[in-house]
């Protein structure tokens, strides 16, 4: 279902042609410190409009009331289950509160929660004839909806979008100032942040319907970056769900609270909470507020592209669209726009991959690294490196999809296979009527999830570092074909040292295969890989891999290449899995689905 | 296999809807004709699409499909048409009864006539050669509809045409597709079960063709019931292994579409797959058999693709391997059988 795969800007040559008008601006505004034409902006900049989110504050109480009412309606379909529902929630919350270690700022929240559940417990202990269960439910619902409900203050938004770009532009420019001087201003225009893909298409659709932006999630900095990217694309602000733990910092909490973030507490797993959260999300989409979900849930642990997506929140898109159509809204469509962020290095890589290996390998994985935590020094180091190195981050806005996963044209119409147009109303008609149908809608959402996984892989941009890591791992596997993953990870330093010439020839071969995949539209490759000579992109990749981590992922000296950290090598290599680019099986072998493992336990 | 819960009030309106629905049957082969006949009493209208104009005229004037069932009088609500657009116009349910070899090309051509709300139930037993894509996957890729299901089971068309009792399974990820299949095809002589394991149903219907070839060969050797039972049971174990590797549920293979269909197909001496096996065992070359049959038996192509895939995936399928060697490597059936009998025995 890839219709115009080749019409995409695939390399710098294309992006440059788009940026002609902007490049001059870039040079002048850089000096004056304005951020309006950041070098990564290679698309037409439109004036930002406040969007629907700006009106959130006026309607906030109305929305929350709606959410409570709707949840109530859903939950009390079967009144006898009310007792069980409340009991489950009470039990879950008691357990959660026991484990919850509040800090200075979250103390009051814990107390509030405890007070509520004390009341519920007291009520539950008395017979239903005396204390109406419905009242108790209402109490819980209004508590949850207030906790989840986001806020938006345009003034704070304007402040933030001026401050954040300033910080970014400082990092982008100041970090590379030492490079500007010798080579002149032009060098700094080589962007650290490349936003490529369907930006104009997204900008158009944002006016024709509600956007549901679904990014891949590798690192904690994703959230900040996405906010900045949305600003650069001159789109109105988006609402997004943020972990409740992020609200424990008062400064951060202040901004989030006023920028349309709503809270998602992953530690609350009871049915009532899930319903409220889902209904809140549906409600703001219905309001026409563009939203962001990380469909994978949390950050991917193994470094690969998402191979599973969470369907709960994703399903709210369809629910909102059906509501819109039933209400006869002029712009009922919800568009799902995948977004893939490709990094050379990920700040939390070590701890993520270790989590993953411990989980997946259990007794077979022997952990001998000490804890690798997220210190602010490391974070600063990351930002500095991210923006001072010659290529940083590629963000690709994927082809927009409709709520079923069909591609969408410029006018927002869904494109079916073989030149057909899909009318969503028809797809939402069951037994002759446009309606909600829970089972059908779950299945549509499941299919959307599958499509998203496929699109994520296709919109991925392969970086030099990934290709280097993949090559390195595949040679090691060829040398030790009998070892499974967990034994391979424990190779001695001598065993994981290879002649550089062998490495280069293997890199050449894998490069050839990846370029073929790119021709088939299965992925994108970074322009360095496409245009540079073998030696040049390989050494770029090795350099990038070495920038952040204490122990080098790949190092070259005296004609040999070795790796100091096998876990990290595995992590970065995994970004190229899920494509059937097998290492042991031959090229024609059956394609494994993303997330599947081969016979030796490696992600295939 | 699950039964869709019947809620008295709602199911009345549901039944009313299907009773008023229009059904289009794409493909006027034996099975397509029988399905059209089966659905006709339970809906408003059935349009049977056939390409051949003479046949259409024949069906509409004589009220029977003389090429397959000259004795079966078609229901008054069955109309044969040559124009696809007319066949699909206003259809609520489309029954796809074309052979797997033409599935993709036909779907590409017909795509523009679909509106999107149609429920699509296919009755094809087979997969795309090489890619091993299931028919429902192909239809999903080529047609602008999503509500796709499959009907499969031990259904020898001629027996159902005669009104003998039988049962089948309709599977889909969408409950409404299962519901429509049950509403349209159920009768006092024909039981329709519902299921959600689409992968299992489609693979069961495909893999049994391989075993039908084997069964034909075995019969040519004039062996008894023990040998046949061994073949079917161990063959079913192979089907399960392969099916599970493709994402199917094991229990599906124990049901009508698995064991049921396997028994029916392997006992039907008229089935093309069976005849291929029978003649192979008599030493006739595959080319010659295909030439005589006039068209490729589904099982021949399936065997090659499945065996290749099983080898790559490391799925143990000794019987399929045997059929493959007999077909493409000219190994004698006796030798294949000897080898199969010499495989080290383990726990079952």
Top residue of A401, A416, A435 to mutate, by most chain B CBs within 10 Å, is A416
Q: Does residue B143 belong to the interface with chain A, where contact is any CB pair within 8 Å? A: yes
Cα–Cα distance measured from residue A527 to residue A488, given in angstroms and rounded to the nearest whole number: 32
Question: For A140-166, what is the mean pLDDT?
Answer: 77
Q: Does residue B287 belong to the interface with chain A, where contact is any CB pair within 8 Å? A: no
Is residue B86's pLDDT more than 50?
yes
Is residue A187's pLDDT more than 70?
no
Chain position carrying tokens 């049977």:
B48
Question: For A546-552, what is the mean pLDDT?
Answer: 75
Which carries the bigger pLDDT value, residue A76 or residue A185? A76
A144-153, B309-318, B339-348, range with the lowest pLDDT: A144-153
Task: Provide residues of A within 8 Å CB-CB of chain B.
Answer: 1, 404, 416-423, 426-427, 429-432, 437, 439-440, 443-444, 446-447, 585, 589-590, 599
pLDDT tens, A260-313?
778 888 888 888 999 999 999 999 899 898 999 889 888 898 999 999 999 988
| Chain B residue nearest residue A587, CA to CA | B312
- Provide the H-helix boundaries in A233-310: 250-258, 271-286
Question: For B179-197, what is the mean pLDDT?
Answer: 96
> How many CB contacts within 8 angstroms connect chain A with chain B?
62
Is residue A552's pLDDT more than 90?
no
Is residue A545's pLDDT more than 80?
yes
Highest-confidence range of A12-26, A48-62, A474-488, by mean pLDDT?
A: A474-488
Residue B42 token pair: 């339970």
Which carries the bigger pLDDT value, residue A549 or residue A137? A137
**Cβ pair A572, A553 in contact under 8 A:** yes
**Cβ pair A438, A430 in contact under 8 A:** no
What is the model's pLDDT at position A374? 53
Strands annotated E in A409-462: 414-415, 421-422, 429-430, 433-434, 461-462
Question: For A8-20, what is the mean pLDDT?
Answer: 38
Q: Quick check: helix, strand or coil at residue B268?
A: coil
Q: Quick check: helix, strand or coil at residue A562?
A: strand
DSSP character string of B37-72: HHHGGGSSEEEEE-S-HHHHHHHHHHSS-TTT-TTP
Residue ranges per domain, chain A? 50-344+391-458, 461-576
Phi, psi of B258 (to 5 degrees): -95, -90
Instruction: List A36's β-bridge partners, or say none.
Output: none
CATH architecture group of domain B204-341: Orthogonal Bundle (1.10)
User: How many Cβ atoms are within 10 Å of B86's Cβ, its own excluded?
Assistant: 14
Chain A hits for B141, CB-CB cut-off 8 Å, are 1, 417
Is residue B192's pLDDT more than 90?
yes
Cα–Cα distance measured from residue B211 to residue B215, given in angstroms and rounded to the nearest whole number: 6
User: Kind of pairing, strands A560-562 and A555-557?
Assistant: antiparallel
pLDDT tens, B220-269?
999 889 999 999 999 999 999 999 999 999 999 999 999 999 999 998 88
Out of A418, A423, A585, name the one closest to residue B142 (CB). A418
Helix (H) or strand (E) run with residue A143 in it: helix A133-148
Question: For A222-251, what is the mean pLDDT?
Answer: 77
pLDDT tens, A79-89?
778 888 999 99
Residue A178 token pair: 């030492």
What is the model's pLDDT at position A386? 58
Residue ranges per domain, chain B? 8-196, 204-341
DSSP character string of A472-503: HHHHHHHHSTT--HHHHTT--TTTTEEEHHHH
What's the ipTM? Answer: 0.91
Marked catalytic residue, from B2, B3, B15, B208: B208
Residue B225 token pair: 């019931």
Chain A hits for B111, CB-CB cut-off 8 Å, are 416-420
Reported pTM:
0.87
Q: Could you please state the CATH topology (level 3) that the domain comprising B8-196 is classified under.
A: Rossmann fold (3.40.50)
| Chain B residue nearest residue A1, CA to CA | B141
Instruction: Judge whether B208 counts as a catalytic residue.
Output: yes
Q: Does residue B68 belong to the interface with chain A, where contact is any CB pair within 8 Å? A: no
Exposure b/e, B307-343, CB count within 10 A at least 16 = b: bebbeebebebebbbbbbbbbeeeeebeebbeebeee
Which carries the bigger pLDDT value, residue A17 or residue A415? A415
Q: Does residue B173 belong to the interface with chain A, where contact is any CB pair within 8 Å? A: yes
| Chain B residue nearest residue A423, CA to CA | B116
Is residue B149's pLDDT more than 90?
yes
**Cβ pair A142, A65 in contact under 8 A:** no
Highest-confidence range of A9-18, A444-453, A478-487, by mean pLDDT?
A: A444-453
Chain position carrying tokens 């814990």:
A110
**pLDDT band for position A466 (cuts 50, 70, 90):** very high
Top residue of A78, A436, A443 to mutate, by most chain B CBs within 10 Å, is A443
A44-48, A126-130, A530-534, range with the lowest pLDDT: A44-48
Exposure b/e, B248-276, CB count within 10 A at least 16 = b: bbeebbebbbbbbbbbbbbbbeebbbbbb
**Cβ pair A64, A141 in contact under 8 A:** no
Is residue A177's pLDDT more than 60?
no
Chain B hits for A440, CB-CB cut-off 8 Å, are 147, 174-176
Q: Does residue B92 belong to the interface with chain A, where contact is any CB pair within 8 Å? A: yes
What is the model's pLDDT at position A8? 39
Round the average pLDDT of chain A to a whole number and report it. Answer: 80
Q: Does residue B22 belong to the interface with chain A, where contact is any CB pair within 8 Å? A: no
Instruction: With CB atoms and an 8 Å threshold, state whether A427 touches B116.
Output: yes
């Amino acid at each position: 279902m890839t219709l115009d795969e080749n019409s995409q800007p695939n390399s710098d040559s294309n992006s440059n042609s788009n940026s002609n008008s902007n490049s001059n601006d870039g040079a002048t505004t850089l000096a004056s410190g304005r951020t309006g034409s950041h070098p990564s902006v290679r698309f037409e900049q439109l004036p930002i409009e406040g969007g629907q989110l700006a009106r959130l504050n006026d309607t906030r109480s109305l929305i929350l009331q709606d959410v409570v009412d709707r949840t109530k309606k859903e939950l009390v379909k079967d009144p006898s289950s009310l007792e069980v529902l409340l009991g489950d929630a009470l039990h879950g919350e008691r357990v959660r509160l026991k484990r919850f270690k509040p800090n200075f700022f979250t103390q009051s929240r814990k107390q509030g929660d405890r007070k509520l559940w004390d009341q519920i417990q007291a009520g539950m202990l008395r017979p239903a004839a005396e204390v109406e269960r419905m009242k108790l439910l209402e109490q819980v619902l209004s508590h949850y909806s207030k906790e989840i409900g986001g806020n938006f203050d345009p003034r704070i938004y304007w402040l933030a979008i001026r401050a954040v770009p300033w910080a970014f532009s400082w990092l982008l420019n100041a970090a590379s100032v030492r490079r500007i001087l010798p080579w002149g201003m032009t060098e700094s225009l080589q962007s650290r942040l490349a936003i490529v893909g369907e930006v104009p298409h997204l900008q158009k659709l944002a006016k024709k319907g509600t956007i549901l932006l679904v990014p891949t999630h590798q690192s904690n900095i994703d959230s900040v970056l996405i906010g900045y990217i949305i600003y650069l694309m001159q789109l109105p602000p988006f609402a997004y769900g943020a972990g409740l733990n992020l609200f424990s910092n008062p400064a951060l909490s202040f901004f989030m609270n006023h920028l349309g973030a709503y809270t998602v507490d992953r530690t609350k797993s009871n049915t009532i909470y899930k319903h409220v959260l889902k209904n809140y999300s549906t409600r703001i989409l219905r309001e026409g507020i563009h939203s962001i979900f990380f469909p994978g849930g949390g950050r991917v642990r193994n470094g690969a592209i998402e191979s599973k997506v969470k369907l709960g929140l994703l399903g709210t898109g369809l629910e909102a669209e059906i509501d819109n159509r039933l209400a006869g809204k002029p712009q009922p469509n919800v568009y799902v726009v995948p977004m893939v962020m490709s990094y050379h290095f990920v700040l939390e890589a070590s701890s993520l991959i270790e989590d993953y290996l411990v989980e997946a390998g259990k007794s077979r994985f022997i952990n001998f690294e000490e804890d690798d935590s997220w210190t602010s020094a490391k974070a600063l180091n990351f930002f500095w490196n991210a923006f001072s190195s010659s290529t940083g981050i590629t963000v690709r806005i994927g082809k927009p999809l409709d709520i079923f996963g069909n591609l969408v044209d410029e006018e927002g119409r869904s494109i079916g296979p073989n030149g057909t147009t899909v009318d969503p109303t028809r797809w939402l008609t069951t037994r002759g009527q446009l309606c909600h149908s829970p089972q059908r809608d779950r299945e549509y959402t499941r299919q959307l999830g599958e499509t998203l996984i496929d699109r994520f892989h296709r919109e991925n941009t392969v970086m030099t570092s990934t290709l280097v890591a993949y090559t390195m791992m595949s040679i090691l596997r060829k040398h030790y074909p009998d070892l499974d993953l967990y034994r391979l990870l424990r190779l001695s330093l001598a065993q994981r040292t290879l002649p550089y010439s062998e490495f280069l020839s293997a890199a050449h071969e894998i490069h050839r295969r990846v370029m073929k995949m790119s021709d088939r539209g299965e992925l994108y490759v970074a322009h360095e890989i496409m245009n540079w000579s073998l030696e040049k992109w390989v050494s770029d990749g090795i350099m990038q891999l070495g920038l952040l981590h204490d122990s080098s992922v790949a190092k070259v000296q005296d004609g040999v290449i070795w790796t100091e950290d096998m876990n990290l090598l595995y992590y970065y290599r995994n970004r190229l899995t899920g494509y059937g680019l097998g290492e042991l099986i031959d090229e024609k072998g059956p394609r494994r689905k993303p997330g599947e493992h081969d016979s030796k336990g490696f992600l295939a | 296999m699950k039964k869709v819960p019947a809620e008295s009030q709602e199911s009345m309106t549901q039944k009313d809807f299907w009773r008023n629905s229009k059904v289009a049957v794409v493909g006027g082969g034996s099975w397509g004709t029988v399905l059209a006949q089966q659905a006709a009493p339970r809906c408003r209208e059935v349009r049977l699409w056939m390409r051949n104009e003479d046949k259409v005229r024949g069906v509409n004037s004589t009220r029977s499909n003389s090429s397959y069932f000259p004795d079966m009088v078609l229901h008054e609500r069955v109309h044969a048409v040559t124009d696809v657009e007319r066949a699909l116009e206003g259809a609520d349910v489309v029954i796809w009864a074309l052979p797997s070899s033409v599935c993709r090309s036909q779907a590409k051509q017909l795509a523009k006539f679909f509106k999107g709300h149609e429920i699509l139930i296919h009755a094809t037993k087979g997969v795309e050669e090489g890619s091993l894509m299931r028919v429902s996957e192909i239809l999903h890729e080529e047609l602008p509809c999503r509500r796709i299901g499959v009907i499969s089971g031990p259904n020898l068309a001629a027996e159902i045409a005669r009104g003998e009792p039988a049962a089948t399974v309709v599977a889909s990820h969408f409950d409404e597709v299962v519901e429509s299949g049950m509403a349209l095809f159920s009768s006092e002589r024909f039981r329709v079960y519902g299921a959600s394991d689409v992968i299992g149903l489609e693979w069961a219907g495909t893999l049994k063709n391989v075993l039908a070839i084997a069964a034909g060969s075995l019969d040519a050797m004039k062996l008894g019931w023990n040998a046949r039972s061994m073949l079917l049971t161990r063959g079913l174990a192979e089907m399960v292994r392969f099916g599970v590797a493709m994402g199917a549920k094991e229990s599906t293979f124990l049901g009508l579409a698995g064991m049921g269909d396997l028994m029916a197909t392997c006992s039907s001496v008229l089935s093309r797959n069976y005849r291929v096996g029978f003649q192979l065992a008599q030493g006739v070359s595959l080319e010659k058999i295909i030439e005589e049959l006039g068209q490729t038996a589904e099982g021949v192509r399936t065997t090659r693709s499945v065996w290749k895939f099983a080898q790559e995936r490391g799925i143990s399928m000794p019987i399929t391997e045997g059929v493959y060697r007999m077909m493409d490597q000219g190994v004698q059936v006796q030798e294949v059988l000897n080898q199969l009998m010499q495989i080290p025995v383990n726990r079952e």
